[in-house]
Amino acid sequence: MNIKPLIVIDAGHGGWDNGAISPDGERLEKNDNLKLALAVQNELKEQEVPVLLTRETDVFVSLQERVQMANEANADLFISLHRNSFPTHTPTTNGLQNYIYLTAPETTARAAQLVVDEIVEVGVQSNWGVLRENFYVLRMTKMSAMLLEMGFIIDPIDNALFDKHLYDYAAAITKGAMKFFGLEYREKPEPPPDNKITYIQNLINQKFNLDMPLSGYFDDVTRHYMISALQIALNRDFRCRLEITGYLNNATMNAIPRLRKCQRGYTVIILQALLWLNSYDAGPLDGVLGTHTCIAFCTFIKDNGIIGSCMPDRFVFKALINGSS
């Protein structure tokens, strides 16, 4: 039996350490790093490749702790994810950089180049290629290690590319890492034509100004965008001030009220869309919690053994986002 390699994905910064910040102060490197790390984790899991994250939430982890995790796990590859910055924006402060240690062997250089090639295939503003530097996480890790700078957070085009291609970049990093180990990346099958899920994905994109991939599958990527849409809906309907993260954190859960029959709003649209994504006919996405939607909701909670929820509440939304049993 072949033992697959263990890959460590390191989301740079976190907690009190914001990392680089966009000029308007709205975009923090630590958040971009974590979003990409979680997406890469999902890709590796789908490819059945063992993966370890140095952090899965917005917490501070020291450089020493990150290295220790990887070394103690006897990992085979370490990939640290970052966004770049510079005191002044110039014509050259954009694009992809991938760093390896000053004296890293050619095997590490090959791994780094394979990852760069896959990311460039997706699309970058400029490609700086594989560079060498004396970063702590590169110097102290015992396995092949690279530090990816996924564009400059001070450059609007790099930021737009990061947002547009987040999941494509995650797949590219996964492909490059797997190529290094001689593993074949399994492409996702094309969705069947006239797929209902594709229709729902497109409708949510239009209503909430999102860029969800029209995959035709209720997968983790779709869940991420549906949570973003839910956060937008709660902000619109109930004047919440939720950060649009795409993650079902405590703040989002606590903001979800118990809906009532005949209630109207964007949050009801999300409820209807989630019911459809779970294969329950909720009627048109009209934002009205009417009879048709109530029947679909009642059928869902009965089929999934959800007790105590006579009307949609935060626990029902969580179950719908996680998917039917």
Residues 175 and 289 in one domain: no
Q: Looking at the domain assignment, is residue 39 inside a domain?
A: yes
Alpha-carbon distance of 323 to 270, in angstroms, equals 14
Cα Rg of the chain, angstroms: 21
- Of 2, 35, 69, the closest CA to residue 249 belongs to 35
Q: In this structure, what token pair is assigned to residue 325?
A: 């049993």
Residues 201 and 249 in one domain: yes
Residues 115 and 79 in one domain: yes
Q: Looking at the domain assignment, is residue 51 inside a domain?
A: yes
Q: Is a pLDDT exceeding 70 seen at residue 190?
A: no
- Of 93, 106, 102, the closest CA to residue 149 belongs to 93
Least confident window among 53-62, 93-102, 120-129, 304-313: 304-313
Q: Looking at the domain assignment, is residue 274 inside a domain?
A: yes
Residues 47 and 161 in one domain: yes
Q: Which of 127, 153, 180 is the last residue of a domain?
A: 180
As a whole number, mean pLDDT of residues 152-180 equals 94
Residues 144 and 293 in one domain: no
- Coil, helix or strand at residue 70: helix
Strand order in the sheet with 96-101: 51-53, 7-11, 77-84, 144-152, 96-101, 127-133
As a whole number, mean pLDDT of residues 177-181 equals 97
Percentage of the chain lying above the pLDDT 70 cut: 97
Residues 172 and 200 in one domain: no
Please give the single-letter amino acid code of residue 48: E
Task: State the pairing for strand pair 51-53/7-11.
Answer: parallel
Q: Looking at the domain assignment, is residue 80 inside a domain?
A: yes
Residues 156 and 218 in one domain: no
Residues 217 and 168 in one domain: no
225 phi and psi, to 5 degrees? Answer: -70, -35
Q: Which of 147, 180, 213 is the last residue of a domain?
A: 180
Residues 202 and 265 in one domain: yes
Cβ contact 39:218 at 8 Å: no
Residues 138 and 287 in one domain: no
Q: Is a pLDDT exceeding 90 seen at residue 42?
A: no
* 149 annotated active-site: yes
- Of 106, 172, 108, 105, the closest CA to residue 145 belongs to 108
Q: What is the CATH number of the domain that holds 35?
A: 3.40.630.40
Q: Looking at the domain assignment, is residue 187 inside a domain?
A: no
Residues 167 and 56 in one domain: yes
Identify the active-site residue in 29, 43, 118, 149. 149
pLDDT for 194 equals 61
The whole-model pTM stands at 0.71
- Residue-wise pLDDT for 203-223, tens only, equals 999 999 999 998 888 998 999
pLDDT for 289 equals 92
Cβ contact 153:20 at 8 Å: yes
Residues 163 and 205 in one domain: no
Q: Looking at the domain assignment, is residue 191 inside a domain?
A: no
Domain that holds residue 165: 7-180
- Coil, helix or strand at residue 261: coil
Q: Number of folded domains in the chain?
A: 2
Q: Looking at the domain assignment, is residue 190 inside a domain?
A: no
For residue 172, the 8-state DSSP code is H
Q: Which of 133, 155, 180 is the last residue of a domain?
A: 180
Q: Looking at the domain assignment, is residue 232 inside a domain?
A: yes
